Amino acid sequence: MKSHARSTKKRTGGRRRAVRKKRKHEMGSSPTETRVGEEKLKVAETHGGNTKVRAIAKTVASVATDDGAVAADIEDVVENPSNPNYVRRNIITKGAIIETSEGRARVTSRPGQDGQVNAVLVE
């Protein structure tokens, strides 16, 4: 379990003693790295009984054009400024440049948080 609690290590390198156990509100999770592939979604529970849809893999992106939004097939990840290794692994994040059936597009949504891939065409 990832924890957003205070670190157990002090600035000096010494250890901090645990006064209490971990609390549920301090809980976190590892990032969802959305890949290009057969569509797979995961529903995660959030605060207040709400849900969050995480996209584990997607094949279709909603691409904004001059005429409106078009559902385009994702072919490949061309460029990813957040991490160059994500291009090799075909991981989609916000700001990534993807090759679609409509042309190259820049991802504007956060697929690991929203569960969908929205993008705008890049000339």
What amino acid occupies position 9? K
Mean pLDDT score, 45-58: 93
At 123 the pLDDT is: 79
Q: Kindly compute the dihedral angle of the four CA atoms of residues 61, 66, 69, 72, in this order, to the nearest 10 degrees.
A: -30
CATH 3.40.50.300 fits 31-121, yes or no: no
Q: Is the pLDDT of residue 1 over 90?
A: no
From the number of C-beta atoms within 10 Å of its C-beta (0-12, 13-18, 19+), residue 115 rates as buried
At 8 the pLDDT is: 92
Q: Residues 51, 42: contact at Cβ < 8 Å?
A: no
Alpha-carbon dihedral sign for residues 49, 50, 56, 57: positive
Mean pLDDT score, 33-62: 94
* CB atoms inside a 10 Å sphere around CB 72: 21
What integer best gives the mean pLDDT of the chain?
Answer: 94
- Domain locations in the chain as residue ranges: 31-121
**pTM of the predicted structure, to 2 decimals:** 0.84
